[in-house]
Structures are given as C-alpha cells and as structure tokens.
C-alpha cells in the first residue's frame, strides 16, 4: 500500500535527474506515472525500469499542441489526472548584454509557457471532477507542483532568461492557487538550490543535449561549482532523490493544507549562486 495508490501523475522532463527520481518515488508510493522527455528512447527505458504502471509521451513540449497530447496520454491510459509536476527544463547561459532574443525566448518557453499550457490543457480534468465532488460534500485533493530555482528567487549572473522563467512560474502557481483552491487543487512550487544534475555537473563535450538539431551545452565550470558549494551551510549539493522528496511531500496527503507556497530546498543556502 502506498499513499498515492490509484493516483495518476504527469511528470515532465522525467527520464533523467530530478524528474526521474520524482517519477520513481511517486510510482513507489502507488501512483501511475506519465514519463515525458525529449529523448524518446531514454523515456521508454526509464518507464521500463520504474516499478508500477507507466505511460510515455516523448516530445518537445514547446512545440505545437504537445502539452495537450501529454495530458491526453494520461487520460487515454487511466482516464484522470491527480498530480502534475512541471519539471522539464534546461539552461542557456549568457550575460544580458550578450544574450540573444532566441535564448531569452527559449527559456521562457520551456520554464514558463509550457507549465501554463500543461495546466490549461489539464483544467477540465482537474476542475470538473471537483465540481461533482463538491456537490457530494466530498474533498478530494489534486496537486500541481512547479519546479523553480534559487536563480528565480534571488537572481543569478548569466541567467537572466532562466531566472525570469523560474520566477514567472512562481507567479503562475500562486495564481492557480487563488483560482483553483475552491476545487481543492493544491498549487505549490519548489525552488531548488544546488542539486546534482546535468545542469550543475562539469561543463564538457560529453555534457550536452540536442534540441532541434542543435547541441546545447549543459553544466558549469568546476571551479564555480566548488565556490557554489561554499555558500551551502550543509556543505554539499543535494541529490536528485532529496529533491524528489520535497516534490513528493507537495504531492502527498500531508500537504493538503499547504497552498500557494514556495518550498526552498537549498541545504540552507539563502542567496543565489553568485556565478
């Protein structure tokens, strides 16, 4: 028995890193999970390795009606949605005076517009059941969790685009909380600090991803990573599993009265990374 038995969850960007750890944890607690990633092969592999029921939607959520198709994947598989974790994202770093329009717009697209479109597509499947439950005098809580960052909360040199998108998603989640609280849809965000993922690992030729046929460099210089860890009172970066634990709390029954909040998961870090 798990605390999420019979719940249906969508986790975007869930083939690797924090997303995968989140999908694994939700599944281990009984949830049925839609795995999403740009790389369909990796998404399928992750789905096959996670215990429990899974479905896969592979594709770029910034393209066309992909958010609607993602939501429909859950509906086709299980007929409902209980949990949405908006986690998909990456970085394109440059100082403001050198940042292109394209890089600015791509970060807003994946970190802010995609969560909006996923939530909008899921709206009928979150609101309509709640209306019936309200008439019956029954409380059933559903959950939306947006993944933000300390870059959004505090700013970060070289990440104006990423920071703007990550803070924007906080404004989005707080608005959802005000609009959909009446439907018992808990809407919260997690702002992560330094978590060990591809985005914070070494910047080298092996740490890249491909988007629209273009190689995108991920990671940060090792010296900056070492400096960043000095700002963390716990003295180390967090793990994807520790990050997933915070998301799980906001998806669980224990967070039913936590609403419109941002949970900082930083190891005690109270500032941006100052890169």
162 catalytically annotated: yes
Report the alpha-carbon angle 124-162-94, nearest 5.
Answer: 155
Task: For 140-154, write each residue's pLDDT tens digit.
Answer: 999 999 999 999 999
Contact 74, 55 (CB under 8 A): yes
Give the predicted TM-score (pTM) of the model. Answer: 0.90
Predicted confidence (pLDDT) at residue 264 exceeds the cutoff of 80: yes
Q: From residue 121, how far is each of 22, 62, 251 by CA, in Å?
A: 22, 14, 19
**Cα dihedral 104/106/109/115 (nearest 10):** -110
Domain-located, residue 78: yes
Predicted confidence (pLDDT) at residue 18 exceeds the cutoff of 70: yes
Contact 18, 85 (CB under 8 A): no
Q: Read off the pLDDT band of 121 (50, 70, 90).
A: very high
CA pair distance 216, 225, nearest whole angstrom: 19
CATH of the domain at 130: 3.40.50.720
Contact 31, 84 (CB under 8 A): no
What pLDDT is attached to residue 32?
A: 98
- Per-residue tokens: 256: 């039913």
Q: Read off the pLDDT band of 275 (50, 70, 90).
A: very low
Distance of CA 119 to the CA centre of its chain: 12
Containing structural domain, residue 198: 8-265
Predicted confidence (pLDDT) at residue 17 exceeds the cutoff of 70: yes
Domain-located, residue 102: yes
CA pair distance 33, 24, nearest whole angstrom: 9
Contact 220, 204 (CB under 8 A): no
Predicted confidence (pLDDT) at residue 237 exceeds the cutoff of 50: yes
Domain-located, residue 272: no
CA pair distance 109, 213, nearest whole angstrom: 18
Q: From residue 86, how far is each of 134, 159, 178, 254 by CA, in Å?
A: 26, 20, 18, 20
Q: Read off the pLDDT band of 44 (50, 70, 90).
A: very high
Angle between helices 240-251 and 17-28 (to 10 degrees): 50
Contact 81, 7 (CB under 8 A): no
Domain-located, residue 196: yes
Which entry of 57, 90, 154, 162 is annotated as an active-site residue? 162
Domain-located, residue 118: yes
More confident: 200 or 271:
271
Q: Any bridge partners for residue 195, and if so which?
A: 238
Share of the chain above pLDDT 90, in %: 76
Give start and end residues of each alpha helix (H) in 40-198.
Answer: 40-49, 66-78, 101-108, 114-135, 150-154, 160-180
User: How many domains does one find in the chain?
Assistant: 1
Domain-located, residue 136: yes
CA pair distance 30, 252, nearest whole angstrom: 11
Domain-located, residue 275: no
Domain-located, residue 33: yes
Walk across the sheet containing 262-265 and list its strands. Answer: 54-58, 32-37, 8-11, 83-86, 142-149, 185-192, 262-265
């Amino acid at each position: 028995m798990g605390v999420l038995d019979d719940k249906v969850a969508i986790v975007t960007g869930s083939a690797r890193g924090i997303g995968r750890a989140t999908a694994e944890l939700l599944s281990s607690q009984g949830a049925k999970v839609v795995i999403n990633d740009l790389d369909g092969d990796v998404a399928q592999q992750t789905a096959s390795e996670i215990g429990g029921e899974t479905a896969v939607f592979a594709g770029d959520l910034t393209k066309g009606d992909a958010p609607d198709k993602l939501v429909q994947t859950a509906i086709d598989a299980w007929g409902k949605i209980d949990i949405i974790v908006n986690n998909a994202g990456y970085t394109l770093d440059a100082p403001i005076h050198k940042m292109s329009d394209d890089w600015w717009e791509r970060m807003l697209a994946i970190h802010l517009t995609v969560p909006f479109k996923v939530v909008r597509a899921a709206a009928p499947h979150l609101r309509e059941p709640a209306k019936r439950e309200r008439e019956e005098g029954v409380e059933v809580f559903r959950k939306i969790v947006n993944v933000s960052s300390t870059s959004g909360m505090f700013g970060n040199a070289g990440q104006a685009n990423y920071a703007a998108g990550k803070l924007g998603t906080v404004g989005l989640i707080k608005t959802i909380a005000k609009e959909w609280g009446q439907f018992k849809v808990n809407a919260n965000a997690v702002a992560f600090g330094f978590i060990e993922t591809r985005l914070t690992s070494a910047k080298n030729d092996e740490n890249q991803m491909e988007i629209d046929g273009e190689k995108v460099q991920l990671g940060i210089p090792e010296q900056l990573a070492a400096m960043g860890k000095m700002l963390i009172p716990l003295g180390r970066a967090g793990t994807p599993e520790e990050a997933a634990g915070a998301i799980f709390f906001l998806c669980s029954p224990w967070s039913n009265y936590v609403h419109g909040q941002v949970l900082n998961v930083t190891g005690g870090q109270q500032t941006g990374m100052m890169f």
